[in-house]
Amino acid sequence: MTMINIDRRKLDPFDRYTMHKLVVQVECKRNCMKTILINLSAIAKDLYRPPIYLAQFICYKLSAPVKTSKEQDGYFVNGAHACEKLQNFIYDFIDRYVICSKCDNPETKLSVNKDQKGDVAVHQSCNACGHSRTMDRKADRLTQYIAKHLLNAKAKGEVSSGTKKKNRSKSKKHINPVNATESTGEANGTSTSTDSGDDSSSSIDDDWSDDSDLDKQLAERCDQYGRLVGKKKTDQKLNDIETVKDLLAEAERLEIMEQAPFIVGQCVFTENILKDIDDYKLLFTKLCTKNAKGQKYLLHAIEALIGEHEEIRKKIFNKKTMSKILLKFYDEDIIEEDTFYTWHEKASKRFTDKNTAKEIREMANDFIKWLRTAEESSDEEDDDDKLPEPQIDFTDTVNKSPVKDYGEIIDAENI
């Protein structure tokens, strides 16, 4: 599905904070029209908010009830409503309940506190800048609903936290942790409640809050990401802008931005590695921008390929080809100078054997030397540019020096 920026004011197509674009479907049965909000739960997950908050907000805006649909596994509202109109409602929700009022960052969370007098206050805190503000409960109905919902969730969490930990530990013993996410999600999706009102939406909220991928070990998350990259490569979609944005978002969600360049390199690099860099330049550039550790991991991916694949080793394990590869990364602005220096300083046996790692760095000696020389020469040129320009007086008045003629000093103007 199409991804759009969370903040409607930002027009950068590669902004890191994105969400699914709303998709709706208007149905008419027996003279009764309804608009199905197909991916409202996915949007809520992108915003780290329970989907019931979005549903209630749209309900208040339209003055019409928003109901859950068991058939479509989503939400619907009575009547025919334009997708653009509903999308603007979601943007209004983001501006009021998601975006930080100080730094315009969407990495915020909502919490509720109850003082000694019994007054309840909803707080929004920003994980980026640390700013916190109290939301006025009396300002709108949704804030009142959020306060009530958070209090109920807090009470339920204190009671059921012990049982959740027990169930999780049991599932790890008997179920493959990679498949545990899918089976858990299916269970949450199919579980229904006989109660009405807020309790009917609690199962959807539990599904939203259960981000079990982050409970996995780092190696499992990397394997999951690698399978996604491999599938996109098989489908020949790695060069699509939407795919690049999705892979960036997934790496951030799984918290493996540093390891992502290594994983992509392992998936796409062949013996024609120079061509591969050209083919997937956009993806590598976006993954490595302002990501020094990710750039270093990309260099480690080359080491791992040389150590694991004999065919690739025969093709690129020589001084000339290695210099070309490093120069390609440098010319395409994928890897920065400082990263080359830190990588070259120390050979590690983490990705290949120690001797191979040392040989690779020895093959890179000429490139590193050239890089340092180019840096020094550019610094000298910058210093030359900073020298003061000579001051020349172009006025008519000129200081003329006396001229000697046969031992006498005469003035040149009197000749």
Structural domains of the chain, ranges and CATH numbers in brackets: 1-99 (3.30.30.170), 103-156 (no CATH), 217-380 (1.25.40.180)
Cα angle: 348, vertex 295, 298; to 5 degrees: 65
Mean per-residue pLDDT over the chain, rounded = 78
Give pLDDT tens digits for 55-86: 889 988 888 888 776 555 578 888 889 999 99
Q: What is the pLDDT of residue 225?
A: 92
Whether the CB-CB separation of 327 and 287 falls below 8 Å is answered with: no
Q: How many Å separate Cα 237 from the centre of its chain?
A: 19
The torsion defined by the Cα of 392, 393, 399 and 401, in degrees rounded to 10, comes to: 20
pLDDT computed for residue 184 by the predictor: 34
Interval 28-60: pLDDT, tens: 877 778 888 988 988 999 999 998 899 889 988
Give the three-state DSSP class for 131: coil
pLDDT over 70 (residue 106): yes
Rg of the chain taking only CA atoms, in angstroms: 31
Give me the half-sphere count of Cα atoms (radius 13 Å) on the Cβ side of residue 219: 1
Considering the entire predicted model, what is its pTM? 0.47
Q: Are 52 and 204 in contact (CB under 8 A)?
A: yes
Reported as a single tens digit per residue, the pLDDT across 128-187 is 888 999 887 666 788 888 888 888 877 765 433 333 434 443 333 332 223 333 333 333
Cα-flanking dihedrals φ and ψ of residue 330, to 5°? -75, -45
